[in-house]
Amino acid sequence: MESISSFEIWAIFFTRFIPVWVCLAIFYFGLFYWKKKLGLLGRLCDSPIGLIGLFIVLFWIFGAILADWIAMFDAYEQSGMYRRKPPGTINTKVDIPYIFGTDTLGRDLFSRMIYGSQIVLLIAPAATIVAYVVGISLGLPAGYIGGRYDTILSFLANLVLAFPVILLFYLLVAPGIRETILPNIMAGIFFIFPILFALMVIYSRYSERLNILIISTLIIIVLGAWLYSGLVFNADPLGLVSIDPNELNIFAAVVFTTSPGVFRIVRGLTMDIKTRDYVSAAITRGEGPFFVMIWEILPNARGPLIVDSCLRIGYVTILLGTLGFFGLGMEPESPDWGSMINQTRSYIRLVPTIVLPATLALASFVLGLNLLADGLREQSLKD
């Protein structure tokens, strides 16, 4: 079969990512131009490591957003004539090369890698955000109020953290669990926290301005009920919000295993920050506990939390890849990176490069997050 040279492979690779290079150029121009107005993100310009990490992360973010313009084939399109072909093999029917080769079903590895980034970059950050909302909602009052409330929550968090993460993930996403109502119960509990947290923010800010408080509360309840019904029960009356049951199971498992760690970090930061003079000043002028926690303590804990969030998204990405590798992640045909590695690893002796696209994509994204976290930590210490 016809094939192209290594130079042509990389030339096509960089050409396909022209939309991404353009987006990155625009973003970095804006970053350096307005760096004095962007706070911690602007100060990242002084950290070469942080800039490299941000570049890698944004590369995959823009790649996922622009996947339809970058990919050369459909992620699920099979071709029996081109199974397990090496990089550069040309599909003579359409005269388009498989620049990274094909898998055992003749699917283009490059296109599956690109579309797989959409799955990874949707589940990992979204699950991490929900885990942070859960951890912050429980950690702030635990560290601020203390007492029996803190003791009970700390015990439960330590109980979850005592289990090996991989084993806990395996128990939560095993096929037998997926068929039960447990994932819906877990998701129902976790998805209620963003609504409660939003209500707590509004109440702490506008508790004495009833007209704004009532209107804001109604808006949050209506929007929250709409999203909640679609995500947890797949019963959105408008048909706009839904989530696959398998994805819901994985999402709930990620939040369950991640939120205790966030809780402990937030609790520790709160116990430290609540002793500062500006917190005492807020209490002296008559501010309530919700206002102190949301508007005095939480903003001053943002540095460590932002750094930890980058690292935690990387951990979640690795966990998702591990689940996919063991066949416990998404559906078998899914192009997520862990599943791609699992589907191709048996043929590495026939085509040594067959596992490289997904493996390098996963490793590079996690590396970018770690470098970004290092840069953010370096700059946050200067505050």
Domain range list for the chain: 6-116+355-380, 119-314
Residue 108 pairs in a beta bridge with 102
pLDDT of residue 120: 87
How does residue 259 score in pLDDT terms, banded at 50, 70 and 90?
A: very high
- d(CA 54, CA 319) in angstroms, rounded, equals 21
Q: Of the given ranges (26-35, 160-169, 264-273), which has the lowest mean pLDDT?
A: 160-169
| pLDDT of residue 330 exceeding 80 | no
> By the 8 A CB rule, do 290 and 165 touch?
no
Q: Of the given ranges (161-165, 167-171, 357-361), which has the lowest mean pLDDT?
A: 167-171
Q: Of the given ranges (25-29, 113-117, 160-164), which has the lowest mean pLDDT?
A: 160-164
The reported pTM is: 0.89
What mean pLDDT is predicted for residues 224-230?
87
What mean pLDDT is predicted for residues 157-180?
75
Q: Of the given ranges (54-63, 106-115, 303-312), which has the lowest mean pLDDT?
A: 303-312
| % the chain with pLDDT above 70 | 97
What mean pLDDT is predicted for residues 15-36?
93
pLDDT of residue 218: 94
pLDDT of residue 383: 59
pLDDT of residue 179: 67
pLDDT of residue 176: 66
> By the 8 A CB rule, do 341 and 296 touch?
no
What does the pLDDT look like over 73-122, one tens digit per residue? 998 888 878 888 889 888 888 888 999 989 888 899 999 999 999 988 88
Whole-number mean pLDDT of the chain?
Answer: 87
Q: Of the given ranges (34-48, 164-178, 325-339), which has the lowest mean pLDDT?
A: 164-178
For residue 47, give the 3-state DSSP assignment: coil
| Token pair listed for 304 | 């460590």
How does residue 69 score in pLDDT terms, banded at 50, 70 and 90?
A: very high
Q: Of the given ranges (8-22, 82-96, 175-189), which has the lowest mean pLDDT?
A: 175-189
| pLDDT of residue 23 exceeding 90 | yes
| pLDDT of residue 138 exceeding 90 | yes
pLDDT of residue 1: 62
Q: How many CB atoms lie within 10 A of CB 127?
A: 27
> By the 8 A CB rule, do 372 and 51 touch?
no
Would you put residue 86 in left (φ > 0), alpha (ψ -120 to 50) or beta? beta
- d(CA 289, CA 105) in angstroms, rounded, equals 59
pLDDT of residue 209: 86
Burial 307-329, CB ≥16 within 10 A → b, else e: bbbbbbbbbbbbbbbbbbbeebb
| pLDDT of residue 162 exceeding 80 | yes
| pLDDT of residue 320 exceeding 90 | no
